[in-house]
Amino acid sequence: MDEKELKTSTRQRVVIAIIAVLMLGSIIAGYAAIILNGGNGSSTASGDSKIDEAKVAEYEEAYNKLQAEFSESTKDDYDQFIAYKSEIKGYNETSANEDGLQTRDLKKGSGDKIDENTEYLAYYVGWCADESIFDSSFDDKDNPTAFAKILDASLGMIEGWNEGVKGMRLDGIREITIPGELAYGESMEICGGYNKPLKFIVMAKAKEDPLKTLASDLDTAYMRYQYAQYGVDYDEVSGGTE
């Protein structure tokens, strides 16, 4: 992260793979064009791009409008969450790895307890030992004023997150310290290396309307905008609108 989400869904991974193939094809086509033009790079894949700039602008406007609506609709949750931003502090990597998974409830929720079968949404902020934020629900990681997104935890999370939220009540806020082996281990570099411990503050919310629909619409709008920038029709490759 910034990794938009902690773990992508199967559908998202398929679409990302399609984009990667298209980008690779564009690069190859670009080199081919240069060779065929005797080294003149004026005719490249980008020049033959099928990207619809008007569509990109349309999707960007739609996404920004939904994001503003989301921020306004989640203001009460943001006001509760931001009160704990002062808990984002540096920590000792060695101790965090040696001490194992640690949790601390900052605010006890009044909803159902989370277990392995619970579907829920989550506002979050994740940071490294040096206090740097690597991802969050904030509109700005350094000077936030609102929430800009929310995570659908049913897409699948890292092991430490899944274990760390167990027993937490919906509407509660919890701090989770995850050792490297329960985070990304050797599979991905984050916070400047591998096997790095991570800290999160998580606010869990019931996956219910109106938040559920607003979150889904925002995510879809974001995906349409992102894929349009590569000339990819999100609705086509994802099997239609949701």
- Contact assessment for residue 108 and residue 169, using Cβ atoms and an 8 Å cutoff: yes
Whether 178 is in a domain gets the answer: yes
Whether 143 is in a domain gets the answer: yes
Domain count, the chain: 1
Whether 33 is in a domain gets the answer: no
Tell me, what's the pLDDT at 6?
53
Which positions ≥6 away from 220 have C-beta within 8 Å? 234, 241, 242
Q: Which domain holds residue 96?
A: 75-211
Q: How do the pLDDT tens digits run along the chain, 242 residues long?
A: 443 445 444 444 445 554 554 444 443 333 333 333 344 443 333 444 588 999 999 999 999 999 999 999 999 999 999 999 999 999 999 999 999 999 999 999 999 999 999 999 999 999 999 999 999 999 999 899 999 999 999 888 999 999 999 999 999 999 999 999 999 999 999 999 999 999 999 999 999 999 999 999 999 999 999 999 999 999 888 876 44
Tell me, what's the pLDDT at 31?
33
- Contact assessment for residue 202 and residue 174, using Cβ atoms and an 8 Å cutoff: yes
Whether 31 is in a domain gets the answer: no
Tell me, what's the pLDDT at 129?
98
- CA torsion sign for 97, 101, 103, 109 is positive
Tell me, what's the pLDDT at 97?
97
Tell me, what's the pLDDT at 49?
52
Whether 39 is in a domain gets the answer: no
Question: Among all chains, which residue has been given the structure tokens 């392995």?
Answer: 116
> How far apart, in whole angstroms, are the C-alpha atoms of residue 29 and residue 218?
34
- Contact assessment for residue 173 and residue 111, using Cβ atoms and an 8 Å cutoff: no
Mapping DSSP to helix (H, G, I), strand (E, B) and coil, where does residue 78 land?
helix
Whether 13 is in a domain gets the answer: no
| Domain containing residue 92: CATH number | 3.10.50.40
Tell me, what's the pLDDT at 28?
35
pTM of the predicted model over 0.85: no
Tell me, what's the pLDDT at 238?
82
Whether 225 is in a domain gets the answer: no
- Contact assessment for residue 121 and residue 205, using Cβ atoms and an 8 Å cutoff: yes
Which positions ≥6 away from 94 have C-beta within 8 Å? none
Which positions ≥6 away from 17 have C-beta within 8 Å? none
